[in-house]
């Protein structure tokens, strides 16, 4: 293995050995606190353009299987780990972790002091970093980052036949588990590109619309806010993660970037109506700002126990609900899977249910 370096734009350098593609890579350096689920994490489209630091000390011990990818190909920029296990042990394992990275051209670095790196990110805030074979890297004069949502969203409409209500899945970089959860509830699902207009959605005649997770700053999608507002005002809607932020923004709220985000499968969230605390899976940099919420339009339904940030909204007039966390989890706890089930029940019972198949 070749000696490698992770150099942060703030000047810190972390040494290790390069794994995977071994090529130079740049991205926003973030960290995830989950103890399992590394396969789902590296294939989550929401990590597009980011370098993930795994807090859990050993990665690769149960290998890679054929079932748990959340997308066809990883969109992340790189991976940082402490100990790499190259002798996985699991009956479903078909590939090593490092082989997965190499197959899709993803650069990783192992043998890094990830505790120190995470402490650095927590003190500095999220920063850009470069993975390479040298410490001498340039951060100046970089081109503007691409619209990551456009890169990970489907390019064509995809239809999944089923016998239940018809849900349109607005794809900003959806995890496979969201689609699987809808299909498990017998929904017929049409997956559409992120820039699909209200008129095209109307032509699909859905019973409900789900606005998915995805990468990047939600304000980059500002030009589509009017369409998002028309869609969510016309159909029972559920927003998850980025979808939550986009719905809030389309109704006049504002978002801000957290210092280092929420990423992991152990984030406590309080359901304000019941006072119960749910343990949730999260992956986001941005949050909806408290003072931007119009109390005449939305009720706040969930709050993060740790920092009190908004974790969910419910419209006072329209059947619109949003959550900042991932109710389908994968990886993560199943405390909030009822949210997807209730969404399906709601669209099935509202008015005259129009099914997608005869």
- pLDDT, averaged per 10 consecutive residues of the chain (358 residues), comes to 93 96 94 96 97 97 97 97 97 97 98 98 94 86 78 97 97 98 97 98 98 97 98 98 98 97 96 97 97 97 98 98 94 92 92 40
Instruction: Write down the pLDDT at residue 143.
Output: 57
User: Of the residues 98, 132, 166, which one is the last residue of a structural domain?
Assistant: 132
Domain residue limits at 21: 3-132
Looking at the fold, whether 182 and 121 belong to one and the same domain comes out as no
User: Of the residues 99, 132, 165, which one is the last residue of a structural domain?
Assistant: 132
**Cα distance between the two ends of the chain:** 58
User: Which residues are annotated as catalytic?
Assistant: 241, 326, 328
Looking at the fold, whether 26 and 121 belong to one and the same domain comes out as yes
357 is a domain residue: no
201 is a domain residue: yes
Burial classification of residue 64, based on how many CB atoms lie within 10 Å of its CB (0-12 exposed, 13-18 middle, 19 or more buried): buried
141 is a domain residue: no
CATH number at residue 109: 3.50.30.20
Q: What are phi and psi of 35, to 5 degrees?
A: -90, -20
Looking at the fold, whether 105 and 246 belong to one and the same domain comes out as no
d(CA 240, CA 262): 14
CATH number at residue 261: 3.40.50.880
237 is a domain residue: yes
How many structural domains comprise the chain?
A: 2
Instruction: Write down the pLDDT at residue 48.
Output: 97
Looking at the fold, whether 115 and 54 belong to one and the same domain comes out as yes
pLDDT digits (tens, 9 = 90+) for 108-164: 999 999 999 999 999 999 899 999 999 888 876 555 678 999 999 999 999 999 999
Can you spell out the DSSP letters for 45-88? GGGTTEEEEE-SSEE-TT-B-SS--SSSS---SEEE-SEEPSS-
Looking at the fold, whether 319 and 187 belong to one and the same domain comes out as yes
Looking at the fold, whether 256 and 310 belong to one and the same domain comes out as yes
Distance of CA 119 to the CA centre of its chain: 23
Distance of CA 228 to the CA centre of its chain: 19
Looking at the fold, whether 273 and 176 belong to one and the same domain comes out as yes
254 is a domain residue: yes
Looking at the fold, whether 161 and 282 belong to one and the same domain comes out as yes
81 is a domain residue: yes
139 is a domain residue: no
The stretches of the chain forming alpha helices (DSSP H) are: 38-42, 97-103, 114-124, 148-152, 176-184, 198-204, 225-234, 242-250, 338-349
Looking at the fold, whether 168 and 123 belong to one and the same domain comes out as no
Looking at the fold, whether 244 and 292 belong to one and the same domain comes out as yes
Looking at the fold, whether 194 and 276 belong to one and the same domain comes out as yes
Looking at the fold, whether 210 and 312 belong to one and the same domain comes out as yes
Q: How many CA atoms lie within 13 A of 70 on its CB side?
A: 30
145 is a domain residue: no
């Amino acid at each position: 293995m070749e000696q490698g370096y992770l150099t942060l734009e703030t000047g810190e350098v972390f040494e290790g050995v390069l794994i995977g593609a071994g090529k130079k890579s740049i991205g926003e350096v973030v960290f995830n606190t989950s103890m399992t689920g590394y396969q789902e994490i590296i294939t989550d489209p929401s990590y597009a353009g980011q370098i993930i630091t795994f807090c859990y000390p050993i990665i690769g011990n149960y290998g890679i299987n054929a079932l748990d990818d959340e997308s066809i190909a990883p969109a992340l920029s790189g991976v940082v780990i402490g100990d790499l296990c190259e002798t996985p042990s699991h009956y479903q394992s078909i590939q090593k972790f490092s082989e997965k990275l190499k197959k899709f051209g993803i650069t990783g670095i192992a043998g890094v002091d990830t505790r120190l790196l995470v402490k650095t990110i927590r003190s500095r805030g999220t920063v850009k970093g470069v993975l390479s074979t040298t410490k001498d890297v340039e951060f100046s004069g970089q081109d503007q980052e691409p619209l990551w949502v456009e890169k990970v969203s489907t390019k064509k409409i995809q239809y999944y036949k089923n016998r239940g209500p018809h849900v349109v899945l607005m794809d900003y970089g959806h995890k496979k588990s969201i689609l699987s959860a809808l299909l498990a509830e017998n929904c017929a699902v049409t997956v559409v590109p992120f820039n699909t207009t209200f008129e095209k959605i109307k032509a699909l005649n859905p019973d409900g619309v789900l606005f998915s997770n995805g990468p990047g700053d939600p304000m980059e999608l500002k030009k589509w806010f009017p369409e998002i507002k028309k869609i969510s005002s016309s159909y029972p809607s559920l927003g998850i993660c980025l979808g939550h932020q986009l719905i809030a923004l389309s109704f006049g709220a504002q978002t801000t970037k957290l210092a280092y985000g929420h990423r992991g499968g152990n984030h406590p969230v309080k359901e304000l109506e019941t006072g119960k605390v749910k343990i949730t899976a999260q992956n986001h940099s941005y949050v909806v700002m408290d003072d931007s919420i119009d109390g005449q339009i939305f009720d706040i339904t969930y709050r993060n126990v740790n920092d009190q940030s908004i974790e969910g909204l419910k419209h006072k007039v329209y059947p619109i609900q949003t959550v900042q966390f991932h109710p389908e989890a994968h990886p993560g706890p199943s405390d909030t899977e009822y949210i997807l089930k209730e969404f399906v029940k709601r669209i099935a019972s509202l008015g005259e249910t129009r099914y997608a198949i005869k």
